[in-house]
Amino acid sequence: MSLVLKLNGVEHTVDAEPGTPLLWVLRDELQMTGTKFGCGVASCGACTVHVDGFPMRSCITAAEDVAGAEITTIEAIGATKEGAAIQQAWEELDVVQCGYCQSGQIMSAVGLLTENPKPSVGDIHDYMDGNACRCATYQRIRAGIQRASEIMEG
Query: What are the residues binding another protein (CB under 8 A)?
Result: 17, 20-21, 24, 27-29, 31-41, 43-44, 46, 73-75, 78, 87, 90-91, 94-103, 106, 124-126, 128-129, 131-142
Closest CB 142 distance from another protein, rounded Å: 6
Is the Cβ–Cβ distance between 149 and 118 less than 8 Å?
yes
* Cα–Cα distance for residue pair 123/108, rounded to 1 Å: 12
Closest CB 7 distance from another protein, rounded Å: 13
Nearest CA to 22 out of 10, 9, 6 is that of: 6
Is the Cβ–Cβ distance between 82 and 113 less than 8 Å?
yes
Closest CB 143 distance from another protein, rounded Å: 9
Nearest CA to 51 out of 37, 31, 72 is that of: 72
CA 140 to chain centre: 17
Is the Cβ–Cβ distance between 105 and 35 less than 8 Å?
no
Nearer to another protein by C-beta: 48 or 150?
48
Closest CB 126 distance from another protein, rounded Å: 8
Nearer to another protein by C-beta: 122 or 154?
122
Nearer to another protein by C-beta: 4 or 79?
79
Nearer to another protein by C-beta: 71 or 124?
124
